[in-house]
Structure 1
Amino acid sequence: MSAVHFDTLITGGHVLTMDAGFGEITNGAIAITGERISWIGSAEDARSLTATSVLDAKGCLILPGLINTHCHAAMTMFRGLADDRPLQGFLNTVWAAEADQVTPASVAAAAALGAAEMALGGVTHFVDMYWHPAATIAAARKVGLSLTAGPVFVGFDGVDKTAWEDRLARVPGFIAQFQGQPGLDLRLMPHAAYTLDSDKLRAVAGLAEALGLGIHIHGAEAPWEMQMVAAQNDQQRPIGVFQKAGLLDRPLLIAHGVHLDEGDIDLLARTGAAISHCPLSNAKLASGTAPVAALRARGVTVALGTDGASSGNDLDMWKAMRHAGFMQILATGNPETLPARELVAMATREGAAALGIAAETGTLMAGKRADVIVIDLAAPHLTPSYDPYSTLVYAAGRDDVAHVFAAGRQIVRSKRLCADISDDIARVQYIANTLKTRKDTA
């Protein structure tokens, strides 16, 4: 082993592998070669190892990169535009702004801003559903994140001015262009059962099967959505609509899953569908509290997401972890419902499981993608630390993320982003100034 030379050696930190047994190495080290973790063990055993770059992580926690399983990264351009209103009012305002401002260029800039925000907060993979997905793919690569993305489907022309038949026809070409590219997981992205009728959902499911792809969709998010879907579908609930359309026959990730009854949960458990729980936007938009404890008790995989920055205002997975825990305590009256280490698991390995990429990422293990983050415990608010998981969930925040490696590439160094996104920030600010001027003069 001593004769092997590595690209990067991270040593001296407390390693949380986030495997099924919550394995820990108190004084640990991780070696990276190319895009992969090539060795993991004790810092004592690492003394004989050599590497081009050695990072001293003494006094730090080392864990897998966080996985944000539901996001609209480019919606950073609408951050704060439609606050203090329920989901339907929020959507009406944002949809109007999208029609005015969304282009491939604006999505590229705003998604780069979102990707940068996530990277600085320890996210190494995110799931994105938004217009012009090729622009978001380019933005993620610019910052260095991997992602899950794909064509978006709505039952109307949309801000990309694409008719339904054209939208379907363009999908195979998009998939052929991007399939197999490193760090990119492709899925089809139908918006929701209230923006797509059952025939269109069935068409998406058929396309997903033909292309061998999974699906990501919003579902059972808000009370008014439940009423609208029922009125449009003979009183069926969204999960029932998904089943009838064939969506549950494909690997399915459902964003939100707030309003689920026992029948819905049973169906999700039997079909293997996963939920992306977005507690911050659910609370802010008064959508409700998802039955996370009941879902997990039935074996449904529940991961965490931030939603877009226009609804949750930031893309902070640390807040999502903490808020998810607090909401379940309030909902169940039981402080033991969702322990801290389970919340960290939801933000790491459960996210990977929900996406079907657990063989690649989500835990720290030799051979897996080197998605690694280093949390500096030196701050006063992290002292003392009796338990690393409770410290992460109840005290730590994105400002404590010191270093981030995504697929072996260091994208955050000493709390600073390695990529230059200054032009993207300027473009997003210009869009915001335009929207604000119109809002103030309306």
Structure 2
Amino acid sequence: MENLRIRNARFIITPNDLNNTIIYERKDIIVENGVITCIGDHCSKPRGSLVIDASKQVVTPAYINAHTHAGTSFLRGSIPDHEYWDLIKTQKVIEEKLLTPELVFHSSRLSCAEMLLNGIIGFIDMYHYPEETIKACIDLGLYVSTGPIMPVEEELKLFLSKFKNVDRVFPIINIPNMNYSRLEELDNIFSLAKKYGLKIQLHVSETRREVFLFKKYTEHWPIEYLYKNKLLGENVYLVNPNWVSSTELEYISEERASIILCPHRSMRLAIGGFAPVYEAIRKNIPLTVGTGDFTGDKINILSEIRELLLLYRHYYKDTRLRLGATYSYVVLNGYRVMGIKGGYIKEGYPANLVVYDIDALKNTPLHSGNLLSRFILGNGFIPHYIVVDGHIIYDSSKHDELVKRLEDSIVYLEHISQRINYETGELIEQAW
């Protein structure tokens, strides 16, 4: 394994703890055997090290995308004016006509390439044909956590036999919604997760309509139902609980379940509700962000952090959610839900890093006092290097090589796109 020296980094941004971000200036980072061994002014350079001159660059931890539907990138930019329920119906029609394992493979491949370009090295996915997403993305050097949707036991056993011991793959069980008409099946899925020691990723309480329909037919709110039936726990990831009551928030805190939010998707689809982020953080509920499906529009965790912060401030009319604390909380909990060590730039931690170029035209003046604001709210920094476990897996100077490597996926999705009206979501009938 190669050693690495990141020399004289102009800035290093890293969480110090869950509620505090710190900034170093003009420091070296030494990586040996994939692990950070020194941060400072007088670090010894290991023999045979690869050297990155970071004197005009910013170094941060690499990011985890805690919720994706990577296989939907063939719908990028489509159906921009649909609200949630109309979009779900339209998307279902498209998928029934077009979705194949091959399409999921090529879509996932381009989604993972976009993640890589934005400093994301791992993601938790929920979509059809999860084995295709795994094949598409581990080849790019990413960590992948995914699994079958509402599986029967034999299906789950087959999936685990293929992927349980694959490096950088973390099997989970996916539940797309809390359907009040399938509660027995839901209970069975939780039993399977417990039997096989798996985490569950669950869309829940995303819309007002969903929440009140569930209440009407079960006499419980969705998360209340999970709690009363002893289904909540630290292995349960609640995705987009925009309509969650204060009592349910107590249940989540008590059982140490995690919350994953996709702010851009919620705004794009006019969801209306918004999870009580500040209260969740005060209760130390693990909370982080993801980009969701194609309605996330861009697969960029810094953008989601920005939109989480701004949406909270707009919705609650205060600035209690602070920039540095939000960044640290989201980044560290991303690694926590992924199940890997990281999120810090500290000695003894895996070298999962992003090295960003500083564009002087966009970011002058730049100093430690305004760096976080420019970095997150301005979002004008472009990754130059992505480092995973000490290996450089992306170098922007070799971007054209990556494009060429993925050319077959680009051509495939361009071909598929000829069958879709991207404004309305209607299918265009033509010869294949």
TM-score, structure 2 normalization: 0.90
Residues 1:9 and 2:5 aligned together: yes
Match of 1:291 in 2: 276
Q: Distance between the aligned counterparts of 2:312 and 2:390, measured in 1?
A: 35
Match of 1:29 in 2: 28
Match of 2:247 in 1: 263
User: What 5-or-longer segments of structure 2 have no aligned partner?
Assistant: none
Task: Judge conservation of contact 2:385–2:394 (CA < 8 Å) in 1.
Answer: yes
Aligned to 1:56, which of 40, 47, 53? 53
Q: Distance between the aligned counterparts of 1:87 and 1:124, measured in 2?
A: 29
Partner deviation per Cα, 1:203-242 (whole Å, 9 max, x = no partner): 111111111111111111111211232234x231110232
The alpha-carbon distance between structure 1 residues 140 and 367, as it changes in their structure 2 partners (threshold 3 A), is farther
Residues 1:317 and 2:301 aligned together: yes
Match of 2:344 in 1: 363
Q: CA deviation at 1:65?
A: 0.6
Q: CA deviation at 1:422?
A: 1.3
**Paired residues for 1:173-212 under 5 Å:** 173-194=158-179, 197-212=182-197
| Aligned CA-pair RMSD | 2.2
Task: Judge conservation of contact 1:220–1:259 (CA < 8 Å) in 2.
Answer: yes
Match of 2:374 in 1: 391
Residues 1:334 and 2:318 aligned together: yes
Deviates more, 1:319-328 or 1:240-249: 240-249
Task: Judge conservation of contact 2:2–2:391 (CA < 8 Å) in 1.
Answer: no
Partner deviation per Cα, 1:35-59 (whole Å, 9 max, x = no partner): x2241311x3235433442111112
Q: Distance between the aligned counterparts of 1:324 and 1:216, measured in 2?
A: 20
Q: Distance between the aligned counterparts of 1:342 and 1:427, measured in 2?
A: 42
Aligned to 1:41, which of 15, 39, 42? 39
Partner deviation per Cα, 1:110-154 (whole Å, 9 max, x = no partner): 00100011110111111111111111111111222112111112x
- Partner letter of residue 223 of structure 1? R
**Paired residues for 1:100-119 under 5 Å:** 100-119=97-116
**Paired residues for 1:146-225 under 5 Å:** 146-153=143-150, 167-194=152-179, 197-225=182-210
Partner deviation per Cα, 1:309-336 (whole Å, 9 max, x = no partner): 2x2222122221111111111122112x
Task: Judge conservation of contact 1:220–1:256 (CA < 8 Å) in 2.
Answer: yes
Aligned to 1:409, which of 391, 395, 406? 391
Q: Distance between the aligned counterparts of 1:379 and 1:192, measured in 2?
A: 46
Aligned to 2:265, which of 260, 281, 285? 281
Partner deviation per Cα, 1:364-392 (whole Å, 9 max, x = no partner): 23343321101222342222223332221
- Partner letter of residue 230 of structure 1? K
Q: Distance between the aligned counterparts of 2:274 and 2:427, measured in 1?
A: 32
Deviates more, 1:200-209 or 1:243-252: 243-252
Report the secondary structure of 1:322's partner residue: helix
Q: Distance between the aligned counterparts of 1:109 and 1:405, measured in 2?
A: 24
Deviates more, 1:215-224 or 1:141-150: 141-150
Identical aligned pairs, as a percentage? 21
Match of 2:287 in 1: 302
TM-score, structure 1 normalization: 0.88
Find runs of 4+ consecutive structure 1 residues off by over 4 angstroms: 415-418
Report the secondary structure of 1:11's partner residue: strand
Q: Distance between the aligned counterparts of 1:299 and 1:307, measured in 2?
A: 23
Task: Judge conservation of contact 2:12–2:60 (CA < 8 Å) in 1.
Answer: yes
The alpha-carbon distance between structure 1 residues 262 and 382, as it changes in their structure 2 partners (threshold 3 A), is same
Task: Judge conservation of contact 1:283–1:289 (CA < 8 Å) in 2.
Answer: no
